[in-house]
Amino acid sequence: MASVLHLEGSDVDRRNFIVASSGYALPALDLPNIDSITRRTKSTSPASPRVGRGEVAAVRYMVKTLGDSASDLGGGHARHLAVRYLTQNVAPWLDGRFTEATGRELFAATSQLVHLAGWMAQDEGETPELRRLAQSFYARSFRLAAEAGDRELSATALRGLAVQCVDLGYRAEAVQLSEACVNYGRYLDNPRAVAYYEATLANAAAQDDDRRMATRHLAMAEAAIGKPASAGGDSWAAHYSPGRWAHESGMILSRLGDLDAAEEHLHLALDIHGLDRRRTRAIVLADLGGVRLRQGDVEDALVIWRDFLNCADGIRSVKVQAALQDMQVHLGRYNGVPEAQELRERAARLAA
């Protein structure tokens, strides 16, 4: 736990990071100590604070509150708040006195908070420090989840690492981590979680130019997302709605060259299922505009990109920034189109 609490000081302790593509190999994550919680309940000092379900509920509430904020405004808005809550509030509870059952719930909730901090760092920017910070948070989230005995949280932490590998171009590592993610989640009684992990593997395979694997796991994700969502519970993957599945599937299909199907899925995400987070909606609009441009419909792409710019204003997210930059490059080919130049200038102001 000390390694988690020292991840941010001057922002990062670089000695604690696994670097380069080898850092994403499964052995580098280390084997979790699955008996650590049991031992902790037997060796904690009587002077340590007592921790119960109220403290666990508080951590979960803060994960939801901070996660909702980041989903709307981007990871750059609240990362330091999440880390401050982890270090100042949760740290004493991790060293507290609790039953084994409460300890597992506390470790699981902390795994969510650490994972959220990793996602925020990844979404905040593309500097080496933020990349390493996100990687290390995901790795520690995996260990916490495994020690808590929570396979869904373990799979979700691996998914975070896999997505980061895709973004950085570590294709083989992305496939390996995605396969491990699917294996952890294979027997979960939660179809949304299964769809979440299968789509992750489909995306990694598509980035690795393995069309057969991508198509197979995309179909498995579709079959899972079509099942009724699990009733009750506090699922970490519950946010993976049919709309988010449609968006991710659309971009996988775009990568595979099926632009018509990609457009259909992106419209499905926007118009049928709807998207409840402004950051997510902005990214989908940007992606849809890009697909329409590749299909040769410049006029429709400009209309969609105008909506994207309206939605993107004020969001601090590396994905939104990347979409703004891509849009500017594409619009540079249309110097003679006044609307294209207007949008390009607006995009430049937002990117700045």
Report d(CA 139, CA 255) in Å as an integer. Answer: 28
C-alpha distances in angstroms, 290 versus 37, 100, 350? 49, 51, 18
Residues 58-86: tens digit of each pLDDT:
999 999 999 888 888 888 888 889 999 99
Instruction: List the one residue out of 38, 37, 67, 73 whose CA is nearest residue 311.
Output: 73
Report the DSSP beta bridge partners of residue 157. Answer: none
Tell me what pLDDT residue 65 has: 93
With cut-offs at 50, 70 and 90, classify the pLDDT of residue 228. Answer: confident
Residues 291-346: tens digit of each pLDDT:
999 999 999 999 999 999 999 998 989 999 999 999 999 999 998 899 999 999 99
Instruction: List the one residue out of 202, 120, 193, 134 whose CA is nearest residue 168.
Output: 134
Which residue in the block uniquely carries the two structure tokens 């991790």? 94
Tell me what pLDDT residue 9 has: 47
**What average pLDDT does this structure show over 9-26?**
47
Note whether 98 and 50 are within 8 A (CB).
yes
Residues 93-139: tens digit of each pLDDT:
888 888 889 999 999 999 999 999 999 999 998 888 899 899 999 99
What pTM did the predictor assign? Answer: 0.86
Tell me what pLDDT residue 49 has: 78
With cut-offs at 50, 70 and 90, classify the pLDDT of residue 195. Answer: very high
**What average pLDDT does this structure show over 234-251?**
87
% the chain with pLDDT above 90: 61
CB under 8 Å to 218, separation ≥6 — which residues? 198, 199, 202, 249, 252, 253
Question: Cα dihedral sign for 329, 330, 333, 334?
Answer: negative
Tell me what pLDDT residue 30 has: 56
CB under 8 Å to 289, separation ≥6 — which residues? 301, 302, 304, 305, 308, 327
**What average pLDDT does this structure show over 232-244?**
77
Tell me what pLDDT residue 17 has: 40
From 15-19, 171-175, 317-321, the region with the lowest mean pLDDT? 15-19
Note whether 271 and 229 are within 8 A (CB).
no
With cut-offs at 50, 70 and 90, classify the pLDDT of residue 258. Answer: very high
Tell me what pLDDT residue 14 has: 40
CB under 8 Å to 197, separation ≥6 — which residues? 155, 159, 178, 181, 182, 184, 185
- CATH code of the domain made up of 277-352: 1.25.40
Average model confidence (pLDDT) for the chain?
A: 86
**What average pLDDT does this structure show over 47-55?**
85
What is the residue type of 281? Answer: R
Note whether 180 and 142 are within 8 A (CB).
no
**Whether residue 25 has pLDDT greater than 70:** no
Tell me what pLDDT residue 15 has: 40
Tell me what pLDDT residue 91 has: 85
Tell me what pLDDT residue 24 has: 58
**Whether residue 154 has pLDDT greater than 90:** yes
Tell me what pLDDT residue 238 has: 77
List the chain domain ranges: 1-149, 277-352
Instruction: List the one residue out of 220, 215, 137, 228 whose CA is nearest residue 185.
Output: 220
Tell me what pLDDT residue 78 has: 84
